[in-house]
Amino acid sequence: MRTLSEDLRLRAVRLVVEDGLSLRAVGRRLCIGEATVGRWARQYRRTGSVAARPRGNPGRSRLDPHEGYILGLIEDRADITLAEMVERLDADHDVRVQLSTLWSFLRKRGLTYKKRPRTRASRAAKTSSSAG
C-alpha cells in the first residue's frame, strides 16, 4: 500500500473541518475509507498537519546500545564465533538475539571474517563440476 498524497489528505480534512461534512460523506466523495478520513482529521486537529508519517524500517538494531561491548569481544578474541557472542550477550547483558541478528549487525559495520584464505586453482585436479 502506498501513501496517499498530501493534497488529497488536505482536501478531505477541509471537507470535514471547514464544510462540516460527515466522515462517511467525505469518504464516499473522495473514494477513501471513512476511518482513514477520521484518522486524518484527528491528526489535523491534534498537530495542525496532514503529512504522512515516515514509512519503513528506521534502521536501528537492538544491538546498537551494545556496540562497544560486541566490538570489544572481537578485539579480545579474533576467532570468536557468532554463537559464542550470542551466549556472552545473553549472559553479560541479558540480551537475547538470534545469530542472524548479530550477523546483520556486524555486516552493516563491515565486519566479516573469512575463515580460510582463498586458494589457487589446482593444476592436477579439476576444480569445477560443470562439463565443458
- Kindly report, residue by residue over 17-26, the tens digit of the pLDDT: 999 999 999 9
Cell of 36: 482513514
CB 13 within 8 A of CB 50: yes
Contact (CB, 8 A) for 16 and 37: yes
Domain limits of the chain? 6-47, 64-108
Look up the pTM and report it.
0.49
Task: Specify the higher pLDDT residue, 19 or 118.
Answer: 19
Question: Would the pLDDT of 121 be above 80?
Answer: no
Sign of CA dihedral 46, 50, 56, 60: negative
The greatest distance separating any two alpha carbons of the chain, rounded to the nearest whole angstrom, comes to: 85
Cell numbers standing for residue 113:
571474517
Average pLDDT score, the chain: 88
Can you tell me the mean pLDDT for 29-53? 95
What pLDDT was estimated at residue 115?
A: 61
In angstroms, the Cα distances linking 94 to 82, 88, 91 are: 16, 9, 6
pLDDT tens-place string over residues 105-114: 999 988 876 6
How confident is the model at residue 55, as a pLDDT? Answer: 86
Find the mean pLDDT for residues 33-47: 96
Q: Supply angle C-alpha 129, 131, 132, rounded to 5.
A: 130
Lowest mean pLDDT segment, chosen from 17-26, 64-73, 101-110, 120-129: 120-129
Element (H, E) at 85: helix 82-93
What's the rounded mean pLDDT across residues 10-38?
96
